[in-house]
Structure 1
Amino acid sequence: MKELNRRELLGHVESLMAQYCEGCFLHQHLKKEGGRRSAHRFCISKCTVGEQLQEFGKKLS
């Protein structure tokens, strides 16, 4: 697979977040039940989209 440049990676991150994260009902529910920190922790550690975002982040740094 070819290496993506920084602009392409940021485009992928933005499109993933726009498609899956904005308006996520699970995130809203977790935020209401356990707070913002709990919802964020779930997104980072257990959500498949969050895992993909982390992989893109590793490639950016």
Structure 2
Amino acid sequence: MKDLSRRKLFSQVESLMVQYCEGCFLHQHLKKEGGRRLAHRFCISQCTIGEQLQEYGKKLT
């Protein structure tokens, strides 16, 4: 049962990333202007999708 819930969480994470993160204009712009670290930091700390991904990550550990 636990394996099934992990698979469901991974599926939800993949769905979010495909729908919102791939081709994100803001990420591309920040990466171009401030570098990869700035863009990644924004995604982790300020993006609402990044916050949702972190919550899923907490459930996986």
Q: Percent identity?
A: 81
Q: What is aligned with 2:25?
A: 25
Give the alignment's TM-score, normalised by structure 1: 0.93
C-alpha RMSD over aligned residues? 0.9
Q: Once the two structures are superposed, what CA deviation does each residue of 1:14-45 show, in whole Å capped at 9, x if it has no partner?
A: 00000000000000000000000000000000
Number of residue-to-residue matches in the alignment? 58
Q: How does 1:1-61 map to 2 (within 5 A)?
A: 5-61=5-61
Give the alignment's TM-score, normalised by structure 2: 0.93
**Could you list the runs of 5+ residues in structure 2 that have no partner in the other structure?**
none
Give the number of the structure whose residues are more often helix, by fraction. Answer: 2
